[in-house]
Each structure stands twice: as structure tokens, then as C-alpha cells.
Amino acid sequence: MNETASGGVRPVLELVNVGRHFVQGTNQISILDGANFALQPGETVALVAPSGTGKSTLLHLAGLLERPDEGDVIIDGEACGQLSDDRRTAIRRSEIGFVYQFHHLLPEFSALENIMMPQLISGLSNADAKERAAQLLDYMRIGHRGEHRPSELSGGEQQRVAIARAVANAPLILMADEPTGNLDPETAGYVFEALDALVRQSGLSAVIATHNHDLAGLMDRRVTLQDGMVVELD
């Protein structure tokens, strides 16, 4: 486990006074304004906030998909705000996994091949990538669906494949943006439980945005966004 110079445990993710603003006409709209947040190793955090308050923006900044207008994002002790695009891409590829509301699977490839893809891009051999993908499919209880393409899978199965793909490279952090928002309540509950179990079994740290307070209650803690800042919920 990584430690700070003083011997304390170092967060895997930090947002330090992060600001993100957009110009609309003659007005500047602040989505995030001095936002601070820290994610500890192995911790799961639910981000619960109404639509339009900046949940996706926060995840995009934390996941290095966007750059903040102010402040910095620190991944495993490395400040990322001024890094080159190539270095940010390398960190994102090796340290961060993403799950979205819509699965974004590649339609021309099977479930197994979709999970293999990020591993192959990272240089893993075909045999090792296939073995890892098969293990993840078994863990998500859809090992028998590995040769099926996304169009042949149910919505819940597609999202479980997307979750497996997100953790295939053993990232440090998982970012999930309403991962069950497109599913019916029963399927959402099953998929969320599978996601939670996989995260904990893998020792990942996770930030999961969700509208579902029951599902959020399964996480270690809950935060929300208020006036552009991250606020702890009881």
C-alpha cells in the first residue's frame, strides 16, 4: 500500500480545489467551484446528486477525460493537471476503469473479445487476455455467454460485460456513471451487487454515481454535490 512521506496512507485519488466552468452567452456557469475530494485505497464511495449538478463532470475530471479550469487531480500521488496528453492517457489506461449508463460494447465482437480488447491494447498476450476475460465472465455469472455478441445479450448481461471490461486491466480506480440507470429495478439490483462484489474482491477503489439511494447505501460512504463542492452525506 502506498504511503505518504509522513507514514500515512496516501489517497489513490484526490481533487484539490477543482473548478470547472462553462460560458453560456455572457454568463459564466460554475459546475464545480473549489471542489475537494479524496478516495482512499479499497474505499467505495457513492456520488448521489440530482441531474445537472455536475456528477458526470466530476467523474470526467477525476478520470482524466477533461482538465479542470482550476485546481488539480492527483492519481496515486501524481499531479495530473499539467501532464501531457500522452501521459494522462497512459495513466487513464493503466490506473482507471470506466463504466457508463450505456454499455458501449463493440457490437462486432463477442462478450469475451470485448473484455480482451483493453488487455490486448495494453500488450497482454492473446492467451493471457482470453484467460482473464473468461475468469471475469465466470465471476459475473455469464461465462456461458462469452461467445455471444452484444445484440444477443440482455441489458443486464451487456452491463456485466462492460463492468468486466472496465476491470480487465486491474486498474487502481473504478469510475461508474449511473451504471444501472438504464436497467429495470430488479436487474439493476443484481448488476449493482455483482459490481460491488467484484470491486471488493479485487481490492479496487471506486466512485459510483447513482440516483438509487438503496444501492448507494451498499457503499462505504456517500457524497453529494452542493454549490459546486463535494459534501459528505450522513
pLDDT tens-digit readout, 94-139? 899 999 888 889 999 999 999 999 999 989 999 999 999 999 999 8
- Give the pTM: 0.86
Placement of cell 429495470 in the chain: 184
Give the pLDDT confidence of 30-61 residue by residue, as tens digits: 899 999 999 999 999 999 987 778 888 999 99
Band the pLDDT of 186: cuts 50, 70, 90.
confident
What is the reported pLDDT for 37? 96
Beta-carbon contacts of 65 under 8 Å, excluding residues fewer than 6 positions away, are 92
Give the pLDDT confidence of 195-226 residue by residue, as tens digits: 888 888 888 999 999 888 888 888 999 999 99
User: What's the CA gap between 7 and 202, in Å, rounded?
Assistant: 24
Q: What is the mean pLDDT of the chain?
A: 89
